[in-house]
Amino acid sequence: MVGWQRHLQCALRRIRRRLEHNYSLSSNYSSTSTSRLSPSLLPSELPGIQRLWKPPSASISSPLYQYFQQLGISTSRKLLAGSSEETPISSPLTPVLAIDSGKTEEKKVVANRTKVQAVLKKIKQSPKKFNLVAALIRGTRVEDALLQLQVTVKRAAKTVYQIIHSARANATHNHGLDPDRLLVAEAFIGKGMFLKRVLFHGKGWAGIKERPE
């Protein structure tokens, strides 16, 4: 712990000595350049030189701060105007916005949809039996699918009929599609949420049965 602290202190001393040396050289150069000026020139005649060689404030005694001032590096920036008539200075970190951004109206582009779907959740029925009915109407016209489901003697046919009818209503009323040209591209059911229950067997054996939620 003591070794690296000693090396760090030595490095900080070297940096401080170098900064003080550079500041002393810059101050000597400014003093010699001012002595070479003609004494006939008044301070009021050279406002730029007077502002350039203005001595730093007496309250600031840090050589590092004075060295930054000599290099022209400012540690702060005045962002507000001095009076109400002046306009405030914009911050460099604020992104520049377009001048006419508030006046222009956004044009909403309505895309013509080619696929419309209807989803039904929490169906209390076997996924395998449901997919057998859904396989009958895949790739057919919507009108033919509805007729096929009306004559199918299956409990899942009624649920599939409601879903296809809802999808046709969405396509017709919400998106303006032609109901006579609609096709059933996909019709399937997933496993979804299910409940696990104990299935008892003989001789002390048991299994797990899954019920749709």
User: What are the pLDDT digits (tens) for 141-166?
Assistant: 999 999 999 999 999 999 999 999 99
Mean pLDDT on 116-128: 88
Lowest pLDDT segment from 7-21, 88-102, 173-187: 88-102
CATH assignment of 127-212, among 3.90.226.10, 3.30.930.10, 3.40.50.880, 3.90.470.10: 3.90.470.10
Higher local confidence (pLDDT), 122 or 171: 171
What residues does 199 pair with on adjacent strands? 207
Which tokens hold the place of 2?
A: 């003591």
pTM: 0.44
Higher local confidence (pLDDT), 21 or 203: 203
Mean pLDDT on 92-111: 53
First to last CA, the chain: 65
Residue 71 has pLDDT above 50, yes or no: yes
pLDDT score recorded for residue 12: 83
Q: Please state the three-class secondary structure of 79-138 as a single string.
A: CCCCCCCCCCCCCCCCCCCCCCCCCCCCCCCCCCCCCCCCCCCCCCCCHHHHHHHHCCCC
Residue 6 has pLDDT above 70, yes or no: yes
pLDDT score recorded for residue 153: 93
